[in-house]
């Protein structure tokens, strides 16, 4: 896990919503955890020194963390690209100003074009606000992708996921992903958290850090902590014997159920982007069905002219970019 190019930074367990499928079990009663602003800054400094390319601020709802603007500024100053995964329920004008900075992009989830069905999933009326802020992000020129999470049935009615996809496309969202509910956290239905809920590439160039400093192979694999950045430097956590052991066990498990997601139907107008949290199946251009592949948001805005295998591009320009250096401040 030492060669990491993408980090999830789970700033908080607090969220205005209480989504029925939340893998982090976030909600109004959640907290920002034990990681302080200084701790997150130290993580960003280490990430830049390790040549991480992209960090995603996620939660919970990261816009509820008071230090989000400053942490985005610090990440950009370190030469890191930034994605903020937000429910877009409430965005203040100061946050919009931060989101429009070069190097920042947004991601969100969407569930139905029907407000009542959307609310049944998110735990409160949220459809109108999220939809309006999607439109506002696009109006402001903020790079944005969205993902439709498919429950199948909601309150004994078929989820209007395809119409949600169409609504996003009609709004002008350039990249719309599609994923099934991952049975982790509140997403558990008829299965239990385990490797069957993972995309097949967890720990492969990616890692996640929790509000309490725990490090996981990805945000879904929360039962597999490999260390804590409050105790040990990030690079040492990712290169530890425990990390190697977890990575080997995951690789073995994934070989045992290779391409289990291949039977999953792609959403309408399937596009070559990752699912909403960057750790699920993605569709190749002009092909179907989905299959587990490497996921990171680095190439999400390159489609349809993706510059080739192994290449990364800027969300705003489509041009290859090189990671910059950031001098440690601690």
Residue 191 CB: number of other CB atoms within 10 A? Answer: 12
Q: What is the pTM assigned to this prediction? A: 0.79
Residue 36 CB: number of other CB atoms within 10 A? Answer: 12
Q: Which residues pair with 146 in a beta bridge?
A: 108, 176
Four-residue CA torsion sign, 76, 79, 81, 85: negative
For residue 313, give both structure tokens. 């591009």
For the chain, the average pLDDT equals 78
Helix (H, G, I), strand (E, B) or coil at 299: helix
The full DSSP string for 106-151 is: EEEEE--SSHHHHHHHHSSS-HHHHHHHHHHHHHTT--EEEEEEE-
Helix (H, G, I), strand (E, B) or coil at 235: helix
pLDDT: which is higher, 102 or 219: 102
Residue 129 has pLDDT above 60, yes or no: yes
DSSP 293: -
Distances, alpha carbon 190 to alpha carbons 37, 184, 186, 301, in Å: 39, 11, 12, 35
Q: Rounded to an integer, what distance in angstroms lies between the CA atom of residue 231 and that of residue 243?
A: 15
Q: What are the backbone angles phi and psi of residue 35, rounded to the nearest 5°?
A: -75, 125
pLDDT class for 263, splitting at 50, 70, 90?
A: very low
Residue 199 has pLDDT above 90, yes or no: no
pLDDT of the residue at 258: 52
H or E element, residue 48: helix 37-49
Q: Rounded to an integer, what distance in angstroms lies between the CA atom of residue 246 and that of residue 252?
A: 10
Whether the Cβ atoms of residue 134 and residue 145 lie closer than 8 Å to each other:
no
146-169 pLDDT per residue, tens:
999 887 777 878 888 889 999 999
């Amino acid at each position: 896990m030492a060669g990491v190019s993408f980090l999830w930074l789970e700033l908080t367990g607090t969220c205005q919503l209480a989504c029925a499928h939340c893998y982090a079990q976030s909600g109004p009663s959640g907290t920002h955890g034990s990681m302080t602003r200084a701790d997150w800054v130290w993580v960003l400094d280490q990430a830049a020194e390790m040549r991480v390319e992209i960090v995603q601020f996620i939660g919970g709802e990261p816009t509820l963390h008071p230090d989000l603007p400053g942490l985005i500024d610090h990440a950009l100053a370190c030469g890191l690209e930034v994605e903020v995964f937000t429910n877009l329920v409430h965005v203040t004008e100061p946050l919009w100003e931060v989101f429009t900075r070069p190097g920042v992009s947004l991601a969100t989830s969407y569930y139905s074009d029907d407000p009542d069905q959307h609310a049944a999933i998110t735990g409160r009326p949220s459809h109108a606000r999220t939809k309006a802020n999607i439109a506002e992000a696009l109006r402001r020129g903020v790079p944005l992708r969205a993902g439709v999470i498919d429950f199948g049935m909601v309150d004994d009615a078929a989820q209007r996921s395809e119409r949600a996809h169409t609504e996003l496309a009609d709004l002008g969202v350039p990249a719309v992903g599609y994923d099934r509910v991952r049975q982790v956290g509140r997403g558990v239905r008829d299965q239990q958290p385990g490797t069957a809920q993972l995309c097949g590439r967890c720990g492969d160039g990616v890692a996640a850090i929790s509000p309490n400093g725990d490090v996981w192979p990805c945000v879904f694999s929360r039962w597999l902590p490999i260390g804590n950045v409050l105790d040990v430097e990030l690079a040492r956590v990712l290169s530890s014997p425990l990390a190697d052991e977890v990575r080997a066990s995951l690789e073995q498990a994934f070989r045992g159920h290779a391409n289990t997601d291949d039977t999953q139907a792609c959403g309408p107008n399937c596009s070559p982007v990752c699912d909403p949290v960057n750790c699920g199946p993605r569709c190749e251009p002009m092909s179907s069905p989905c299959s587990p592949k490497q996921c990171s948001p680095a190439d999400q805005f390159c489609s349809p002219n993706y510059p080739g295998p192994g290449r990364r591009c800027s969300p705003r320009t489509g041009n290859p970019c090189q990671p910059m250096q950031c001098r440690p401040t601690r």
